[in-house]
Amino acid sequence: MKQFILQSAPDESGIVRLSGADYHYLARVRRFTTGTVFNALLPNGETVQIRVRTVKRDWLEGECVPDAGPTPLQSAPIPLISLFQALPKGAKMDLIVRQAVECGVAEIVPFTSVHSVPKIADDKDRIVRWERIVREARQQSGSSIATAVHAPLSVDGLLHHWNIMQEQHGNEAKGIMLHPLVVQASLVAQAKCASFHACLEHSDTCKSIALAIGPEGGFSPSEAARFTAAGFTAITLGNTILRTETAVVYAIAAIRIILLERASWILNSPARQ
């Protein structure tokens, strides 16, 4: 369900006044008029409904109203998913950010690998653009997860970030590296498991999952070896080679479906007689 993310909380009377880009989105793009009721997410994570009271030339005013809609279905909590994405060519990273947010990723950590064409640069405009895409994607998809997007890191910086995650969650943090079988057969043979189901079999005790995906051309052998040594499990798709922006959606969807439907696919051992 679509939602609008408020930058600041309503006043004591439950009134919000929006202008600038927020006004343009609601009044010009969504074409909201007086009386329109829409879902909104407050800065504290609370969801409310807002009824438009006034629409002027360059500002809009609304009031919080009781939520009379149906209560959304609540699913069991699942581990937070972090996407470690090697920078791809062109504007593909913008698409990846949008898709990852819509898929419910908790954080996106871009990094440069050997095969990355774009390299790390102090580009504040790029970070601002990604943050805008995150907000737009959350509004479009209705995601309640406040996805964080980081500035690009080196592989060293990324693995340091992973080490911090491990220090916070210990064995309850899982690392998954998506890599083609034809390139990484030796690492797959050494990995703990080579399928999403096997890797997530004991996800009931997992709190955080880091998914590492390479750029066009995948990880170099040395990079794949470093990820494996750091505790990542090599997951393959057989002989299927996906574009990096396709692999993101494929892998996140696979992880989320397995986690959300875990109760239906875990086989219980028959009781001993």
Burial class (CB in 10 A: 0-12, 13-18, 19+), 53: middle
| Residue 254: φ, ψ to 5° | -60, -45
Higher-pLDDT residue of 81, 123: 81
Confidence of residue 8 (pLDDT cuts 50, 70, 90): confident
Question: What pLDDT score was predicted for residue 28?
Answer: 87
| Res 207 pLDDT > 90 | no
Mean pLDDT of 159-181: 85
What's the whole-model pTM score? 0.75
Cβ(52)–Cβ(17) under 8 Å?
Answer: no
Vertex 90 angle, CA 89 and 93, to 5°: 80
Cβ(187)–Cβ(228) under 8 Å?
Answer: yes
Average pLDDT, the chain: 83
Tens of pLDDT, residues 92-135: 999 999 999 999 999 999 999 988 876 665 577 888 999 999 98
Report the alpha-carbon distance of residue 187 to residue 268 in Å, rounded. Answer: 31
Name which of 123, 133, 137, 104 is nearest 211 in CA terms: 104
| Res 85 pLDDT > 50 | yes
Cβ(209)–Cβ(80) under 8 Å?
Answer: yes
Distances (CA, A) of 216 to 188, 222, 252: 20, 16, 18
Q: Which domains does the chain have, with CATH numbers?
A: 4-65 (2.40.240.20), 80-264 (3.40.1280.10)
| Res 2 pLDDT > 80 | no
Tens of pLDDT, residues 236-273: 776 777 889 999 999 999 999 888 887 676 555 455 44
Burial class (CB in 10 A: 0-12, 13-18, 19+), 16: buried
